[in-house]
Structure 1
Amino acid sequence: MSTWNRTGPVVVEVDGSAEYLRIVDYASAEALRCGAELVLVAPYSAHASVSPMMPGYSPKAPAERADDALRAAVAHVRHRDGYATELAAVAGEGSRVRVLAHAARKARMLVVGRSRSRGPQRLMHAHTNLTLASRAGCPVVVVPASWKPCLMDRKVAVGIDGTALSAEALEFAFGTAAGREGDLTVVHAGLPAEHAWNDEDPDHSWISRADHLLSETLAPWTGRFPNVRVTRFLSSRQPAAALVHESSEVGLVVVGSHTGALPVDPVARRSVAAMTCPVAIVPHHVTATDHERISAAPRRPARRAGRSDVLTP
């Protein structure tokens, strides 16, 4: 069982747009729920751009625009929640990933918005957020700009593979479900439909093995969070497709990710890019044992190498 104790503030990115205030609303609700400080962070570049189509236009300095965005976000939170939340606001010069990762180094979570882009650009944005989670070391919650509070927010889903790579994701998923007094759906996908049941030896079927794996993996967490109602979901879909399908029925989907120099998992990247609800990217803190296991594992063809931290069959 993981002993990673997530404390500290809830950090949220601010970009100055009106639609991004919904992302701030999500972060503010999480801060209120867990009694944490809310830290608003506005990354900015030191180099301003001037449009050649507007020769007489002199835009504000990037630092000034960042300060304006923070003031608007603080006023929005105060108008909505009064002084129930402790607030801090920080403008940081540099790349988005560097500034946010630095601000979230002691945070319990970092909240960012989801890009409205499509296709390859959406995948690239998902890749950036996975990298951000790896560098920040805390869960990164990616929230659609269209998010609004609803009854489904009480429902959480998490994908697991039964290995140590699932530990932090499970911890976060159970803790979030308990904090929301909601239900948790545990997804284990990749069932080979043509071999789902072995009539000659049903005890060794994929379903039997998967159910046993889930029982062993969940036992410590169900004991620690007895009030969380857990539903097991075994699926013949590919892992990413199974979680994306589940995202239409829950308020948060939790996926795992690598930290350090390990490559970003393509299954997790596709999942993050395609979710229809907020998704929490929870980094796995790789141990020496994990490194030994990865180094000793035989290399596989590229088609089979896309095994997710928490979403593998």
Structure 2
Amino acid sequence: MNGLIAVGLDGTAESVAAAHWAAREALLRGAQLRLVHAEEWASPRDITPVTSAEMRSRWAEALLRDAADELHDGHPGLTISTRSLDERPAAALAAVATTADLLVLGSRGLGALAGFVLGSVGMAVIHSTERPVVLVRAGEDAIASSQGHHSDRELVVGVDTDRPCGALLAFAFEEASRRSCTLRALHSWSLPPLVGYGAAYDPRIHAQLDMSAKAGLEEMLGPWRERYPGVRVAARATAGHAAWQLVEAASEAGLIIVGRRIRRSAVGAHIGPVTHAVLHHARAPVAVIAHA
């Protein structure tokens, strides 16, 4: 792409955290950072459409200017541009994503629980773009400070060995190479219902399936290990629920990377159950990678 990272900014603590995360990522990549605010300012239903639009436009410009100044102070070498759009946020951000290497958005935490509440804008953007999208919750700056630099913490990627994962692994290995950190690749599998419980449980079948799962994961990772020999890879295939294993493994990670299948049909879910659960419960920033 063109060495550009875009971040949606709306003045919330979550979007501010996303902007700081995106700034650090832009520095790692040697990319430019673009701060984007999108909002429909004029509507036929507005009582005073001109005044309302002007006030919101001035507020958006001040928001972007102040955020850019703050990020410049923290990252003097970073090239930052701003863009204010009078459009529906989801559609505008999805369009911006097509011109960027990465789109970063804020996502609200689940109160006392660690995790996300993925709002309608974030969900719509993920559905609408095939570009990588990263969700960052408020408090990520404090977590990064307590657990190490943006690039120090390991990355976690969820791998489904039954389906192609080329785009997902390409992003994960490139990001791990850029950060010079460990990449933890996780694959979860389940026992067939008839051999998984009670008297039907057979440890030999469990062992065979475990061996097969590990071999499948290593086979999938093999070409990427060769392509990125400098990346430290910790591979694990275990029986269990994929989403919860990913969330647990990523509790102190710098980034968790999950995939979603590209669906051309408007019917049906566009985000699988594992990715959906990770988005709502992960403590770390989450990168969603669309792939075939």
Question: Structure 2 length normalisation: TM-score?
Answer: 0.82
Question: CA 1:246/1:152 → structure 2, altered by over 3 Å: closer, same or farther?
Answer: farther
**Are 1:277 and 2:277 an aligned pair?**
no
Question: CA 1:255/1:159 → structure 2, altered by over 3 Å: closer, same or farther?
Answer: same
Question: Helix, strand or coil for the counterpart of 1:11?
Answer: strand
Identify the range of structure 1 (64-73 vs 6-15) with the bigger mean alpha-carbon deviation.
Answer: 6-15
In the alignment, what sits opposite 2:254?
Answer: 251
In the alignment, what sits opposite 1:293?
Answer: none
Q: 1:160-182 CA distances to partner (integer Å, 9 max, x unpaired)?
A: 11245422111111111111110
Structure 1 unaligned regions, length at least 5: 1-5, 49-56, 287-313
In the alignment, what sits opposite 1:40?
Answer: 35
Q: 1:183-234 CA distances to partner (integer Å, 9 max, x unpaired)?
A: 01111113336599753795xx111111111111001110111111111122
In the alignment, what sits opposite 1:79?
Answer: 73
Query: Partners of 1:171 and 1:14 in 2: how far apart?
Result: 28
Query: Partners of 1:147 and 1:201 in 2: how far apart?
Result: 39
In the alignment, what sits opposite 1:299?
Answer: none
Identify the range of structure 1 (256-265 vs 64-73) with the bigger mean alpha-carbon deviation.
Answer: 256-265
In the alignment, what sits opposite 2:48?
Answer: none
In the alignment, what sits opposite 1:263?
Answer: 269
TM-superposed CA distance for 1:134, in Å, is 3.9
**Are 1:101 and 2:94 an aligned pair?**
yes
2:109 to 113, 116, 136: 116
In the alignment, what sits opposite 2:61?
Answer: 67
Query: Partners of 1:280 and 1:157 in 2: how far apart?
Result: 10
Question: CA 1:212/1:46 → structure 2, altered by over 3 Å: closer, same or farther?
Answer: same
TM-superposed CA distance for 1:136, in Å, is 2.5
Query: Partners of 1:165 and 1:196 in 2: how far apart?
Result: 31
TM-superposed CA distance for 1:34, in Å, is 0.6
In the alignment, what sits opposite 2:148?
Answer: 151
Q: 1:281-311 CA distances to partner (integer Å, 9 max, x unpaired)?
A: 0111x3xxxxxxxxxxxxxxxxxxxxxxxxx
Aligned length: 270
**Are 1:214 and 2:217 an aligned pair?**
yes
**Are 1:242 and 2:213 an aligned pair?**
no
Question: Helix, strand or coil for the counterpart of 1:199?
Answer: helix
Question: Structure 1 length normalisation: TM-score?
Answer: 0.77
In the alignment, what sits opposite 2:231?
Answer: 228
Question: Helix, strand or coil for the counterpart of 2:165?
Answer: helix
Q: Write the mapping of 1:294-305 to structure 2, written as runs, cut at 5 A.
A: none
Query: Partners of 1:229 and 1:117 in 2: how far apart?
Result: 32
Identify the range of structure 1 (217-226 vs 60-69) with the bigger mean alpha-carbon deviation.
Answer: 60-69
Could you tell me whether the CA contact under 8 Å between 2:14 and 2:137 is conserved in 1? Answer: no
Could you tell me whether the CA contact under 8 Å between 2:15 and 2:107 is conserved in 1? Answer: no
Q: 1:215-256 CA distances to partner (integer Å, 9 max, x unpaired)?
A: 110011101111111111223321111111112131110000
